[in-house]
Structure 1
């Protein structure tokens, strides 16, 4: 998907009846009130709240978020309904979102001030991403796609039960009502979906009819004579590609292999979705492998073309920032803000030009001079640096434990240590999976499995994966640290570049790390210590650092893929007879998922990857656009091989 910088909405609040958009020369809602319009047109027009009664999940898709009143009115109706669905998902697209300041002004006199305050507190940075905001302990989820609906709707993977077709009048904003948009509404419709809109324009009604809806006019409100409602009843539906179908929508239990960052994040996400999780860890403790470092970094990236890597890393970093803000009270420490130093001494002008070209806001990333960066770092830096306000550092083991503790508190966790898994077996009669130990005995069984064991995942799923062998790489990393007694410099926030450094709460300094593929040496090495110290001196040239320090640190192994993206999703079962060059057409092993190859970005990637496999497993709306999900899809290696052969 081609992205574009987000241009915030301009809002004129001078009108007594309703805020006005100067750019579209239209009001944001009817003079009779936004909540009145939301209840009459969108809630009543879609048969809500009655239609969500008794449902596990109900999905609303809106084509114009605007001021957010439709969402707030729907949330309020859900909160007040004793027969409400277990989980409400509200997915909305907005090309020109409000700034936080304007959003606060828009809801200064909201009829639901408590809900409006929660929305304002969670309001995301204005980047072209799908932002997932959770409320009511995850039972209400708002998913905001910032950008053009014509770009976003084809990229969404969801089945919506109700559509709110909102936006400025078709005559003033025709792009939001054109045939291509309404055709996507039909593609995204669940069986028996409904739609409602205040517009009865002939083009809108014809577009909905062409998309498979049966349209009716109903009495309007507040001077509006009529509104339109519709029921999805198509003659034919285009089959969904196997890679975009729910993998195990009726699953109630899951096995998670591995208790590192990936496994703990999956346990939390799956538990929130209502699944009972059994976590099987081969070692004697959680976070024992690559997730065991005393501190680790998380942050986004950017590049001129905003390609796959930049978009995925940004989406993941934003998800991690939101999650760490939520879980922060359960963590012993959390450092906010991160500096990434450029390698060239004259890079500042090019950095500022790149940020301007990308159009990313300052609350996501800033290009700083060496002097500006030094003030934030608390030590003198020699070069310009990128500042990521939402980045930072945290203890990976503490985060893993916090996630597992939260899952245990929900009563949905069975954690088993010292439990290695050698292979998996599926019972076709029951569709359940079993994990087998080294002796061939069944350890545990469940409806679904998520393999999160790093490089050990390769052996567990080797016989179950169609296509070529995945190009796994095992990379040894040696981390070093200086103790408080060695008087290391104290950093106000982590600094990265060629290597990284962060101050630990005990006054020590953690830095490194080496990267050696295929190296299985477990002992600390003097050569790697010297390399880490040399990189630290380049990173912090003004700091007083020893020429040599006693060997102290930790060795771990990262699993990674050569394309520098994780491996996330349902495992391919066989090569398709047609269209095998596209990952989404590969049939999948029912209920078998993987989250692996998190490389050195486990903290940044784990949250989003866990949310993605949870959505793919259960049939919930995906938290990223389809093109990003396909970029990390396990079937990508087989699809790539087919394209190369062709």
Structure 2
């Protein structure tokens, strides 16, 4: 998906109804935004009655505007004793309000308490699908910022009710474009409904073409009529195999590995009510690459905003939200990260790049050397990118917090010293087969409807034989992290600093820095040569550090990262045999039911784990996906097979 900078809405608050001068229209009917939401959108979709007794109910809105429809729906959910267990509200908005204008819009809101929660959670205005959780995750707002014509084909969801809102079709035709409304048929769940205040013939015809039965209903508050519709298609195109939820939703899941990936999955899956068993080969969680004393998380930016920049930004924003939620459960957490440029005279180019990307200051800032140095508490000598939502955290503490949260669910178990050597599919189960994890002696360790491989470098052996004769280019990369005690450290950094290497100060005043990267190296011992390399990179990051650190005592940690050559993670269901047609597109590859992988996180495990775990969970449970379809394709395990087929012509 091609992205574009987000241009915030201009709102005129001088009249009785907030007005959009760029569209020449008001944000809601004169008789009140909440009354309009209840009568037109909730009432037109049979809510709250239709969500009664449901595990999940999904609403999709075109045009978030001031957020009144979301707040009214949330309020109705709270007030309904028969409410669904989880409410998901998807909304697309090309011109979102700034936080300041959103605050002003809801200064006298009838749902002020809810509005304040929305304002506090309001994301940086980047072209992403932002997932905001409320009510301990039982209410989820998914905000797709950008053009609806780009976003609607990219959403993966099964939608129960459509709120077709936005400015009048004559004033905002792109939001009512036939291509946008056609997507409602693709996204509609069986029995889905739609409602809108517009009775324009073009709107009704587009809904009819999408498979809806459309009717007009009497309006209210000066609106003579409204439109309601029910999804009743004569025919429906088959969904590509790679985009289907399991035919039978899993009751229980095995997670293999208790590092960052496994712990994030355990937390996300347990929250959805699944029985989760984590099998960890080591004696403790986070015993491999996730065991470093400190690690970084942050986003990136690039002029063309390709898949790497988009994924890393989406992952960083998800991680920031998750760590702010968990902050009280973590022993230490540093906010803000500086990524230092290698040249001193690039500040103008940095600012031009940020302007071209259109990324807001609450996501990234281009800082001059003196400003960056002041923020770091150390002389850097070069300009730097500041990521306010980035920072550093203890990976073992984060893993422990996620596992503790999963452990509050009665059906969760963590088994240590349980190395998995092989997986077997037992087709005798009456519900379609279970996955059995066995140790090296062939003894069954556990079984479940689904399994998620989160074993880092161990994933390569466990996926062998299940990957449709496609060779996955797994890389095991040795990394040596160095540490300096508080007495030897060159000062104390106020914020983590990264560049060719990285450095961060731990709470006790010691400093960890590095790290080396050697593919295929199995040496578990600390090496003086690697420490010398790390010290050289530290001297480049902190040029005013002391000069007597030529050979400090050898101290640090060795671990192995798992990655693949394109430096993107592997997230999704493992592909089975290649399809007879369209094998060059990952979404058409059939999958082994319930066999998932979350791996190849490389050096960005903290940044990537949250978003990847949310995607795995959505794929297993049928929930709306937290990333756009094209981005999911870019990290899909079938991409290597698809690439191979493309190269064969």
TM-score (norm 1): 0.99
Aligned to 1:589: 592
Tell me if 1:309 matches 2:308. Answer: yes
Q: Distance in 1 between matches of 2:58 and 2:261?
A: 27
Question: Is the alpha carbon distance of 1:396 and 1:313 closer, same or farther for their aligned partners in structure 2, counting shifts above 3 Å?
Answer: same
Secondary structure of the residue aligned to 1:393 is strand
Aligned to 2:498: 496
Aligned to 1:630: 633
Superposition pairs of residues 243-262 of structure 1, within 5 angstroms: 243-247=242-246, 250-262=249-261
Q: Deviations over 1:339-384 (max 9, x none)?
A: 0001112111111111011010011001111111001000011111
Q: Distance in 2 between matches of 1:5 and 1:467?
A: 41
Question: Is the alpha carbon distance of 1:332 and 1:124 closer, same or farther for their aligned partners in structure 2, counting shifts above 3 Å?
Answer: same
Q: Distance in 1 between matches of 2:268 and 2:193?
A: 29
Deviation for aligned residue 1:488: 2.9
Q: Distance in 1 between matches of 2:108 and 2:406?
A: 38
Q: Deviations over 1:537-567 (max 9, x none)?
A: 0010012251221000000000001001000
Q: Distance in 1 between matches of 2:537 and 2:175?
A: 52
Tell me if 1:550 matches 2:553. Answer: yes
Aligned to 2:648: 645
Tell me if 1:609 matches 2:608. Answer: no
Q: Is the 8 A contact 1:576 1:587 kept in 2?
A: yes
Tell me if 1:12 matches 2:15. Answer: no
Q: Distance in 2 between matches of 1:212 and 1:8?
A: 34
Q: Determine which of 562, 569, 579 is the counterpart of 1:576.
A: 579
Q: Is the 8 A contact 1:488 1:508 kept in 2?
A: no
Aligned to 1:323: 322
Aligned to 2:48: 49
Deviation for aligned residue 1:467: 3.7
Superposition pairs of residues 351-362 of structure 1, within 5 angstroms: 351-362=350-361
Aligned to 2:566: 563
Q: Is the 8 A contact 1:248 1:591 kept in 2?
A: no
Secondary structure of the residue aligned to 2:144 is strand
Q: Determine which of 440, 452, 455 is the counterpart of 2:454.
A: 452
Aligned to 2:521: 519
Q: Deviations over 1:444-475 (max 9, x none)?
A: 11111000001111111211111411000000
Superposition pairs of residues 122-521 of structure 1, within 5 angstroms: 122-247=121-246, 250-430=249-429, 431-521=433-523
Q: Is the 8 A contact 1:54 1:83 kept in 2?
A: yes
Q: Distance in 1 between matches of 2:581 and 2:175?
A: 34
Q: Is the 8 A contact 1:249 1:617 kept in 2?
A: no
Q: Is the 8 A contact 1:248 1:618 kept in 2?
A: no
What is the root-mean-square deviation of aligned Cα atoms in Å?
0.8
Q: Is the 8 A contact 1:162 1:195 kept in 2?
A: yes
Secondary structure of the residue aligned to 1:239 is coil
Q: Deviations over 1:62-119 (max 9, x none)?
A: 0010000100110111111111111110000000000000001111111111111110
Q: Distance in 1 between matches of 2:426 and 2:518?
A: 40
Q: Structure 1, unaligned stretches of length 5 or more?
A: none
Q: Is the 8 A contact 1:467 1:637 kept in 2?
A: no
Q: Is the 8 A contact 1:248 1:448 kept in 2?
A: no
Secondary structure of the residue aligned to 1:375 is helix
Tell me if 1:36 matches 2:35. Answer: yes
Q: Determine which of 511, 536, 539 is the counterpart of 2:538.
A: 536
Q: Is the 8 A contact 2:572 2:637 kept in 1?
A: yes
Q: Give the ranges of 4+ consecutive aligned residues of structure 1 lying more than 6 Å apart after TM superposition.
A: none
Q: Distance in 1 between matches of 2:441 and 2:489?
A: 51
Q: Distance in 2 between matches of 1:535 and 1:421?
A: 38
Q: Distance in 2 between matches of 1:551 and 1:641?
A: 45
Deviation for aligned residue 1:573: 1.1
Q: Distance in 2 between matches of 1:265 and 1:12?
A: 43
Q: Is the 8 A contact 2:489 2:511 kept in 1?
A: no
Aligned to 1:67: 66
Secondary structure of the residue aligned to 1:288 is coil
Q: Deviations over 1:409-459 (max 9, x none)?
A: 132420000001111112223221111111111111111100000111111
Q: Distance in 1 between matches of 2:34 and 2:436?
A: 50
Which shifted more, 165-174 or 465-474?
Answer: 465-474
Q: Distance in 2 between matches of 1:520 and 1:136?
A: 46
Secondary structure of the residue aligned to 1:450 is strand
Q: Is the 8 A contact 2:294 2:392 kept in 1?
A: yes
Deviation for aligned residue 1:487: 4.3
Q: Structure 2, unaligned stretches of length 5 or more?
A: none
Q: Distance in 1 between matches of 2:286 and 2:299?
A: 23
Q: Deviations over 1:451-507 (max 9, x none)?
A: 000111111121111141100000000000100122431100000001000000010
Q: Is the 8 A contact 1:423 1:436 kept in 2?
A: yes
